[in-house]
């Protein structure tokens, strides 16, 4: 959990991902996914996990990035 918090504060994987190698969409997903994942885990620890929660987090991040790129 501590590693995820450090990663989220650092801005995701932006420091280790070269944007010319992957699409801009994938680059943004790599930045946002750890932050959204951490937020969900912190919330789920209080309220409980739902079935297939990881898929929900991935869909939320993808929709957020798609909206940003419009």
Q: Is 36 left (phi over 0), alpha (psi -120 to 50) or beta?
A: alpha
Q: How confident is the model at residue 1 (pLDDT cuts 50, 70, 90)?
A: low
Number of domains in the chain: 1
Residue 11 belongs to what domain range? 2-69
What pLDDT score does 27 carry? 87
Q: How many CB atoms lie within 10 A of CB 29?
A: 20
What pLDDT score does 62 carry? 94
Residue 8 CA to its chain's centroid (Å): 8
What pLDDT score does 18 carry? 54
Q: What is the pLDDT of residues 11-64, one digit of tens each?
A: 555 555 555 567 888 889 999 999 999 989 998 889 888 888 889 899 999 999
Regarding pTM above 0.75, the answer is no
């Amino acid at each position: 959990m501590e590693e995820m918090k450090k990663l989220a504060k650092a801005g995701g994987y932006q420091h280790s991902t070269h944007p010319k190698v992957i699409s801009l969409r994938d680059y943004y997903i790599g930045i946002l996914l750890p932050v959204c994942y951490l937020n969900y885990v912190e919330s789920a620890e209080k309220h409980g996990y739902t079935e297939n929660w990881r898929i929900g987090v991935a869909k939320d991040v993808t929709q957020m990035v798609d909206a940003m790129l419009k």
